[in-house]
Structure 1
Amino acid sequence: MTQPGAYGQRLGHFLRLTETPPALVTRSLRGTELAVTETRNDRPVRGLSGSFAAEDAFLVSLKLQDYPDCELWDDGKCIMKADVHAGTTYLYDLKRDPRYVIDKPFHSLHFYIPRSALDSISEQCHAPRIDELDCRVGLGHDDETIRHIGASLRKGLRRPDEANQLFIDHMMLGLTAHVAQTYGGLAPRSEPARGGLAPWQVKRACERLESDLGGKLSLQKIAAELDLSVSHFSRAFRVSVGLPPHQWLLHQRVKAAKQLMTVRDLPLTEIAISAGFANQSHFTRVFSSIVGASPAAWRRETLGASRAGA
């Protein structure tokens, strides 16, 4: 039986947490699991972290608070002590049993990337296989891209019911490609710029997305139906439609909500659920960001204008 990857509950045990930390998982690269886990302990009990069974995978860790004088272990030995700073990214090779002494409060995001995900990225980019990532012990990276992706995914970790699967797939796919290029030396072979989807592909993709306004469909499933890789589909969809799939889906939810508000006298809570939002609060945030007014204000103005013109 395959052991689960270094995320969620297993990562919580490694860091000696008493509760399972929140995690988001995607299988956007041919069924390979990618995940992000948020770990925090404001009152840790002093001791050495746990140990992972050797695995051909990597953890990319974004530190969310300072951790001074951190005692780092690698391959069963104490290697060094180093100050860890908030906002810094570290990479860990899980074949080498990375560990550290837990003796201060910590707060981090950990992105789990198995070797098979890097191989899939290389294959999709028509590039040579990545040998290793830059996992030098104690070396921190000032990585703005990972900070941005981390901030976006933290919203999903706080409100998992509002994070549609397309969004998680999109962000984790982008992170894996960035890690492969920045820390693995991925150099895609130059090839002619690809255009968008064929008209029939756009029609089918949009129909599939509209059939599931709740966003449970994965990028992998839609791309597979068009016989495309996930990365090619995401890029080509954006070229053809002007938005990545997850953002296009949000606009379709708003469009459906507008139709419901103009033709039926329904409570906003029911409209939110009918249009694929997690709840009324989620509906209000997304609608306001796209339309520039709250659903209630938009409905008052729209219905008022229609009555005045009657």
Structure 2
Amino acid sequence: MAQAGVYGRRLGQPLQLAEAPSLITRTLRSAELAVTETRNDNPVRDLSGSLPADDAYLLSLKFRDYPDCECWERGRCVIKSDIRSGATYLYDLKRDPRYVIDKPFHSIFFYLPRSALDDIARQAGAPRIHELAYQPGIGHDDAIVRHLGASLLEALRRPEETNQLFIDHMMLAFTAHVAQTYGGLRSITAPTRGGLAAWQARQACERLEADLGGKIPLKQIAAEFGLSVSHFSRAFRISTGLPPHQWLLQQRVTAAKQLMAVRDLSLSEIAISAGFANQSHFTRVFSAVIGVSPAVWRRETHRPAKSES
């Protein structure tokens, strides 16, 4: 299937990039959401190429200052401004946003189509969002985007260790935040306060536990209960105390503890069996959750009992 959204290669090529790693998720109605890392330490001076026209926005978090940036829209320069590291900038893909590439840059771009904004407004029982608050070249001090961006940058650099539930959760949070902060979304229906029914919670946990690798999309699990992704995620957290991706992480650690009682299994075999990408991923997560490495935990927990004299 050909890529439709402005992310990955379709975003990277106009910015002179040979590679532009991206992570992708889809809403219940199959709107694509994506995040892409763009970095060029030795650019060739030129006006960036035109991005594919789309009824969508790009929202960018900058990791590097870019002084005196010449921003273009619809074929002409509209503003020169100093782009600040840590700031968030919006681009409307209907306006052919471009800029003069003449300095090293490093950013991540969130691709947010109109259909995803329509979905979240519909789920909230709110009026349709017409346009996001948008000014070319004007940055926003957005702490939530900085937090989401830092987490997703790590995921972009370790894609083999990133489960789909985590991507789904982060992009859902991103879309809701943008809709509220820049689109003025206000729910006109009371939010659901209850958790899942007992049978739903049990079935959802069984579904997640059957795939410790976390490859099942959140929208697929939510759809099995006839719920939107946001409703399901909120209700699951109320029922279990954790969002789905963190609950799954706990199950991986629990499974790994059980497997470590089997002396013939190596830590690398345990890592794969418990849903981790590799042994280093297993060690990093286990150490963060438990406080000691798997090797130390195994040695201390399954130490042979001393024989009595």
Alignment TM-score > 0.5, same fold: yes
Aligned to 2:280: 281
Query: 1:74 deviation in Å?
Result: 1.0
Secondary structure of the residue that 2:261 maps to in structure 1? Answer: helix
**C-alpha distance in structure 2 between counterparts of 1:272 and 1:225, whole Å:** 29
Aligned to 2:8: 8
**C-alpha distance in structure 2 between counterparts of 1:223 and 1:264, whole Å:** 38
**C-alpha distance in structure 1 between counterparts of 2:306 and 2:43, whole Å:** 64
Query: 1:264 deviation in Å?
Result: 3.9
The aligned amino acid for 1:24 is L
Cα contact 1:71–1:80 (8 A) shared by 2:
yes
**C-alpha distance in structure 2 between counterparts of 1:2 and 1:274, whole Å:** 33
The aligned amino acid for 1:22 is P
Question: Equivalent residues in 2 for 1:171-190 (5 A)?
Answer: 171-190=170-189
**C-alpha distance in structure 2 between counterparts of 1:192 and 1:45, whole Å:** 50
Cα contact 2:8–2:22 (8 A) shared by 1:
yes
Aligned to 1:55: 54
**C-alpha distance in structure 1 between counterparts of 2:185 and 2:305, whole Å:** 60
Aligned to 1:46: 45
**C-alpha distance in structure 1 between counterparts of 2:189 and 2:226, whole Å:** 22
Secondary structure of the residue that 1:128 maps to in structure 2? Answer: coil
Distance 1:285 1:206, change over 3 A: same
Query: 1:14 deviation in Å?
Result: 1.6
**C-alpha distance in structure 2 between counterparts of 1:10 and 1:179, whole Å:** 23
**C-alpha distance in structure 2 between counterparts of 1:55 and 1:96, whole Å:** 9
Query: 1:54 deviation in Å?
Result: 2.0
Aligned to 1:250: 249
Q: Structure 2 stretches of 5 or more lacking a match?
A: none
Distance 1:192 1:282, change over 3 A: closer
The aligned amino acid for 1:199 is A
Secondary structure of the residue that 2:260 maps to in structure 1? Answer: helix
The aligned amino acid for 2:26 is R
Secondary structure of the residue that 2:305 maps to in structure 1? Answer: helix
Query: 1:193 deviation in Å?
Result: 4.4
The aligned amino acid for 2:102 is D
Aligned to 1:307: 305
Secondary structure of the residue that 2:196 maps to in structure 1? Answer: coil
The aligned amino acid for 1:140 is G
Cα contact 1:29–1:117 (8 A) shared by 2:
no
Aligned to 1:82: 81
Query: 1:251 deviation in Å?
Result: 0.5
Query: 1:134 deviation in Å?
Result: 1.3
Cα contact 2:24–2:167 (8 A) shared by 1:
yes
Cα contact 2:209–2:248 (8 A) shared by 1:
yes
**C-alpha distance in structure 2 between counterparts of 1:255 and 1:100, whole Å:** 50
Cα contact 1:87–1:147 (8 A) shared by 2:
yes
Percent of aligned positions that are identical: 69
Query: 1:192 deviation in Å?
Result: 5.5
**C-alpha distance in structure 2 between counterparts of 1:309 and 1:248, whole Å:** 40
Aligned to 1:165: 164
Cα contact 2:124–2:189 (8 A) shared by 1:
no
**C-alpha distance in structure 1 between counterparts of 2:306 and 2:129, whole Å:** 65
Question: Equivalent residues in 2 for 1:130-145 (5 A)?
Answer: 130-145=129-144
The aligned amino acid for 1:31 is S
Q: Structure 1 stretches of 5 or more lacking a match?
A: none
Aligned to 1:152: 151
| Superimposed CA distance per residue, residues 190-232 of structure 1 (whole angstroms, 9 cap, x where no aligned partner) | 4164210000100110011011001100100000011110000
**C-alpha distance in structure 2 between counterparts of 1:251 and 1:223, whole Å:** 20
Query: 1:52 deviation in Å?
Result: 2.0
Aligned to 2:19: 20
Cα contact 1:70–1:84 (8 A) shared by 2:
yes
Aligned to 1:101: 100
Secondary structure of the residue that 1:10 maps to in structure 2? Answer: helix
Secondary structure of the residue that 2:220 maps to in structure 1? Answer: helix
Query: 1:309 deviation in Å?
Result: 9.2
Q: CA RMSD in A?
A: 1.5
Query: 1:189 deviation in Å?
Result: 1.4
Query: 1:135 deviation in Å?
Result: 1.7
Cα contact 1:28–1:218 (8 A) shared by 2:
no
Secondary structure of the residue that 1:147 maps to in structure 2? Answer: helix
Cα contact 1:62–1:150 (8 A) shared by 2:
yes
The aligned amino acid for 2:9 is Q
Cα contact 2:10–2:52 (8 A) shared by 1:
no
Secondary structure of the residue that 2:5 maps to in structure 1? Answer: coil
Query: 1:30 deviation in Å?
Result: 2.0
The aligned amino acid for 2:175 is T
**C-alpha distance in structure 2 between counterparts of 1:90 and 1:308, whole Å:** 63
Aligned to 1:70: 69
Cα contact 2:27–2:116 (8 A) shared by 1:
no
**C-alpha distance in structure 2 between counterparts of 1:121 and 1:292, whole Å:** 38
Query: 1:28 deviation in Å?
Result: 3.1
